[in-house]
Amino acid sequence: MNLLAHAWILLPAVLLAGALIGATGIGGVLLVPVLTRFGGVEPAQAIAAASLAFALPALVALRPLRRDPALARRTAPLLLGALTGAVGGALLVHALPARALLAGVTALVLFAGWRGLAARGPGAEAAPQLPRPALAGLGLLVGVGSALTGTGGPVLLLPLLMLRRQPVQFAVAAAQAIQLPVALTSSAVHAAAHRLDWGLALACGVVMLAGSLAGQRLVQGLDRHRLQRFVSMLLLAAGAWFGWLLLA
């Protein structure tokens, strides 16, 4: 690994990832590519470290759930589904082709970002709330996919909820919160397989936690439509980043 030699780019990049997590839930997509390309970390080890690192900024995301019991009850099926899915994803991380998984994530993220910008105006109405079984199923899917790709959860859950036309405030809150069960469950599997670098994971987690606190403050007061556009543009940027990784 070549972490110290590239600290000048690693530290700002990880801090930015944390800020984006705090603002919208998306941001964890940066961590694995940054660690592998600039830090010389092996992909499986980077995914394992990222999985645990996401747990610290996820703790910041739990504050809205504590303040709003109704939101917490609605989010619970997603979190329970993600717990189960993350175990399966972490166990399968070496069995499935990474590029094929990344291609699927790229298509989903780009489509959701485009649709969010093109199909929803200030007066657009959200769809009815998804039933609990549907939310649990989404959580399961996101848990598997997140553990396989090291993306933390939000980059999969947020576009799925947006495609189902769920309220953007709920989508962002749920996407931020889902990081915690995915992080803890997949990290336990990686640790049991001796793939987890605890020092690297905790260092990344602390930096992202600081960024997450700042990001959460930055978006306070944004109205629904502005938040919708911000999230959609961020999804398009994440999709473009994934596309570049596929072609590189």
pLDDT of residue 58: 83
pLDDT of residue 68: 86
Nearest to 175 by CA among 223, 227, 218: 227
pLDDT of residue 147: 76
H helical segments located in 25-54 = 31-38, 43-53
Q: What global pTM score does this model have? A: 0.77
pLDDT of residue 20: 85
- Whether 67 and 128 have beta carbons less than 8 Å apart is answered as no
Q: How far is CA 87 from the centre of its chain?
A: 16
Weakly modelled stretches of the chain, pLDDT under 50: 122-123
Nearest to 29 by CA among 130, 115, 79, 101: 101
pLDDT of residue 6: 64
